[in-house]
Structure 1
């Protein structure tokens, strides 16, 4: 039985924390997916694609390093909130400075600086949950985290409402939303202290330590494999479906994304709550990646619009639940509370590395085998993630 059986964190903190994590998504989703491409187009015109590629690469490297570094600094100082507030304020200010960039080099510098600041906020925010949310609520926390991508996408739709704001003011709206969503948990969250979550686990035999390290590695690799599939579908769904149905446009794609994100929230909440009640943290992850693999197989076999959309909805719902619950359940397997922020920074690589892998995988597969060949490869990656976790199902109650 878990050491924290019967001990719970306040619902107020959990909901405010989920709002703050959603604020983290708002800090980068509308900027990277909508506002930055528009600014790059105005600045570079014919060179927009190249500029965005450089920005994505430099940003991913900066985000990866900053997440590890600031997570480690919040470990060393043993304080999360000051780093969260500093990152929130500095990233918001840097976002407002983006319009001051006059050429490509200045824009890239601004993006790198902004990525550093954003991850100053995100890294300690992620580690804070590990400090104060017991294992018996990590499934529910994961369900709440499913709100983040949904609100991130909705914020992009909000700030780009025609006539609401000009290009520069949109950046100000994003910065304001981030402050409004992140600050409440810092000021009003007041989580109950959980000393047992800050203490190292009792010494265990070498075989047990090796099994624990093996589980951490499996969790890391499983998320990376699923994220590669998720990133690929996000980037190329419209291209693939428009090849099947030319009249299917970007607004239709946006509605499908919104449908999947909206339905994934209650599904993740139900799955997370069930995993808490039954003390089965791994099983929903196995089902999420496994069903996601089936969805990709349906897409690979589909020759029409209905089958294509059905396959994507199956894939999108299952993997959205997987990613939300994985984010919270990872916290139970990290071995050292004193380096929790740093270790989560390494897990964050599973969010940034796929953007570097995905374009090359697509270029290698699609010209030769078409999108169906790419989807079979992605289905194989999701199936491998399922296998990595399924082989540890028997030991999940002892985690």
Structure 2
């Protein structure tokens, strides 16, 4: 019998003739998935953190917080429903042998069309409707994308894969910084650049054939325990994400309150560069801690520590009286929050009770990303003014810390 050398990343054919992923995925595949996830974040982060606030400020002026709050609440409702819907539809496609990537492609095309609607929107009502369309479209991309991680990356690598997800924020924030630093670009050109970036990041994963991991042979915790634990991690992420959503959506306005003497465009450029720096720093930390959590098979201590760091950064932002201190606090917050959310993604996927409904269940878990878009703006509206965000920052710090402490109640995983 001739000797056959099997590459470590090569797929194995199953008895049904379908490709099944090896027990260990190559770093190349993990990077391709992380790049596609970066494309998904590029689809919404520049829009929601810089481009949309700038557009609303130009349309609404001093009424910008009210209009922005109404816009993100309407968009959050659309995002919540559409993520569950497209997760379920991708589950159906998998059951029928079609896979999830087709829904990713549909989501990309719809997202690009929604950008055109945002560009031509000229009134408060048109802005709100265009964001509703955008949120539905971008979640058609994001829902099947995250389900692919649960399908095709083994549990023993989910910590590192989750760490690599933190690549998305620095890449997306770099795109944001480029967009606002190039003052000669008009609005349509900025959205065209975002569209090209999304397509370039997602294309490699779309071209890779689906290779689902084999069903686990070792005994898993009872389904009842998994559901209980999943509810706990759902609540923990919700608390951390309320803080993150309120901060990210109103970050430009927060820094305007710290340095009111600067023009909106200048401040947008400074915030864009700060986002790039603050989101690059967590990347090596998330990958290192993700890999360490894989080796130790323990994620809860890392999650608690990162939530506490995020809360500490928010306290500094509440006490800040100048740009330097506020920026330092935001960097500490960004490290803690980004690493927490990256590790939490892999942790929560290990608690999914039924492999046949991963897309739907992740859609329900995604409510921790979209419900904060309802709660965060309401907190901001009630606790902040265009000139004072201190009380809001302290409340958000308390929520982030409570989210980390809640993780300790999980019993099915360490």
TM-score scaled by structure 1?
0.85
Residues 165, 310 of structure 1: alpha-carbon distance in 2 compared, 3 angstrom cutoff: closer
For the Cα contact (< 8 Å) 2:50–2:252, is it kept in 1? no
2:294 to 269, 276, 282: 276
Query: 2:365 matched to which residue of 1?
Result: 347
Residues 167, 383 of structure 1: alpha-carbon distance in 2 compared, 3 angstrom cutoff: closer
2:281 to 236, 250, 263: 263
CA distance in structure 2 between the aligned counterparts of 1:40 and 1:203, rounded to whole angstroms: 49
Query: 1:19 matched to which residue of 2?
Result: 35
SS state of the match for residue 9, structure 1? coil
For the Cα contact (< 8 Å) 1:9–1:191, is it kept in 2? no
Kindly state the Cα deviation for residue 28 of structure 1 after the two structures are TM-superposed.
1.5
For the Cα contact (< 8 Å) 1:13–1:191, is it kept in 2? no
Tell me which moved more, 320-329 or 230-239: 230-239
Query: 1:175 matched to which residue of 2?
Result: 195
1:361 aligns to 2:340 (yes or no): no
For the Cα contact (< 8 Å) 2:226–2:412, is it kept in 1? no
Deviations 1:82-132 (A, max 9, x none): 111111122223323444446544443333223222111110011011001
Query: 1:396 matched to which residue of 2?
Result: 413
For the Cα contact (< 8 Å) 2:25–2:153, is it kept in 1? yes
Deviations 1:205-260 (A, max 9, x none): xxx43322221011111111111122233345565566666668725444433322
TM-score scaled by structure 2?
0.82
Flag structure 1 segments of 5+ consecutive residues without an equivalent: 1-5
Query: 2:51 matched to which residue of 1?
Result: 35
Tell me which moved more, 275-284 or 103-112: 103-112
Residues 373, 164 of structure 1: alpha-carbon distance in 2 compared, 3 angstrom cutoff: closer
Kindly state the Cα deviation for residue 287 of structure 1 after the two structures are TM-superposed.
1.4
CA distance in structure 2 between the aligned counterparts of 1:186 and 1:67, rounded to whole angstroms: 19
Query: 1:69 matched to which residue of 2?
Result: 85
Residues 359, 56 of structure 1: alpha-carbon distance in 2 compared, 3 angstrom cutoff: closer
CA distance in structure 2 between the aligned counterparts of 1:380 and 1:40, rounded to whole angstroms: 30
Query: 1:384 matched to which residue of 2?
Result: 402
Residues 120, 241 of structure 1: alpha-carbon distance in 2 compared, 3 angstrom cutoff: closer
CA distance in structure 2 between the aligned counterparts of 1:305 and 1:158, rounded to whole angstroms: 21
Query: 2:206 matched to which residue of 1?
Result: 186
CA distance in structure 2 between the aligned counterparts of 1:37 and 1:307, rounded to whole angstroms: 23
Query: 2:3 matched to which residue of 1?
Result: none
Kindly state the Cα deviation for residue 73 of structure 1 after the two structures are TM-superposed.
0.7
SS state of the match for residue 366, structure 2? helix
Q: Over aligned residue pairs, what C-alpha RMSD do you find?
A: 3.0
CA distance in structure 1 between the aligned counterparts of 2:119 and 2:257, rounded to whole angstroms: 36
1:231 aligns to 2:233 (yes or no): no
Aligned residue runs from structure 1 range 305-316, under 5 A: 308-316=326-334
SS state of the match for residue 146, structure 1? helix
Residues 45, 352 of structure 1: alpha-carbon distance in 2 compared, 3 angstrom cutoff: same
Structure with the largest fraction of helix: 1
Query: 2:6 matched to which residue of 1?
Result: none
Deviations 1:172-210 (A, max 9, x none): 2211211111111111x335431216x9x8686xxx433
State how many pairs are aligned: 383
For the Cα contact (< 8 Å) 2:307–2:340, is it kept in 1? yes
CA distance in structure 2 between the aligned counterparts of 1:384 and 1:63, rounded to whole angstroms: 25
CA distance in structure 2 between the aligned counterparts of 1:103 and 1:302, rounded to whole angstroms: 35
Query: 2:337 matched to which residue of 1?
Result: 319
Kindly state the Cα deviation for residue 366 of structure 1 after the two structures are TM-superposed.
5.0
Tell me which moved more, 59-68 or 112-121: 112-121
CA distance in structure 2 between the aligned counterparts of 1:103 and 1:239, rounded to whole angstroms: 21
CA distance in structure 2 between the aligned counterparts of 1:276 and 1:234, rounded to whole angstroms: 30
CA distance in structure 1 between the aligned counterparts of 2:148 and 2:177, rounded to whole angstroms: 29
Kindly state the Cα deviation for residue 323 of structure 1 after the two structures are TM-superposed.
1.1
Flag structure 2 segments of 5+ consecutive residues without an equivalent: 1-21
